[in-house]
Chains A and B, each alone.
Chain A
């Protein structure tokens, strides 16, 4: 997904994603149909700049749609807030923080969908430049 020339390219699936830069969370929402859809769908290609220290989170809808015992979904705003709180940590810790947040919200209710996170960080001294199209 990442080109060696420097630009970050992203093809969407059934998930949302955010990039963290200077403690701010930017959501990059690219609609994409689930695998198996029978109609032709033109996926968008998005390129954007990344700076050292940026963190990218790609996730399935499992955490935002996780329900508690009152049938309330965890939601996207809480997911974003959790990521903002932990975005400066190591990828493994960010995943654990997000998963624990979902567990706490669920109050013991069993998980009803897959919950997937992919976290990537841009190391210091590594600058990538691209443009959106």
Chain B
């Protein structure tokens, strides 16, 4: 069975926050990511990378949370990128429209470099 708890590791790379997920991204897990995003946003962070390398599974409710924060980022002049999805999860992101609201990169380094090249 999937582990129910969601662990997050938050790192900073300059003004970019990297949220690394280490749990099952369902409704509860997605909610944890949303809370972390909101807390960091309130602290003034405007550029985010969500690294899901440690996750092999995400369900529709989890994607819904990611979509909501991506849309929120779009409307609040912040940006969010996702990275390190497995091929199956990356395709689910595409099917569920996440790529309409956020960029998806193969690696965390690519996501960070993309931000830095925009400076």
Contacts and interface: CB of A to CB of B under 8 A. Distances in A.
A33 B67 contact: yes
Most B CB within 10 A of own CB, among A12, A14, A33, A38: A33
Nearest to B91: A76
A65 B89 contact: yes
A112 B59 contact: yes
A75 interface: yes
Contacts of B102: none
B92 interface: yes
Contact of B88 (A31, A38, A73, A112): A73
Contacts of B60: 14, 34, 60-61, 113
A31 B57 contact: no
A33 B96 CA distance: 5
A39 interface: yes
Given A36-B64, A61-B95, A73 B86 contact: yes
B69 to A, nearest CB: 11
A71 interface: yes
B2 A112 contact: yes
A39 B73 CA distance: 12
A29 B96 contact: no
Nearest to A41: B97
A78 B88 CA distance: 11
A60 to B, nearest CB: 8
Contact of B56 (A16, A73, A110): A73
Given A31-B100, A65-B89, A37 B95 contact: no
Nearest to B64: A34
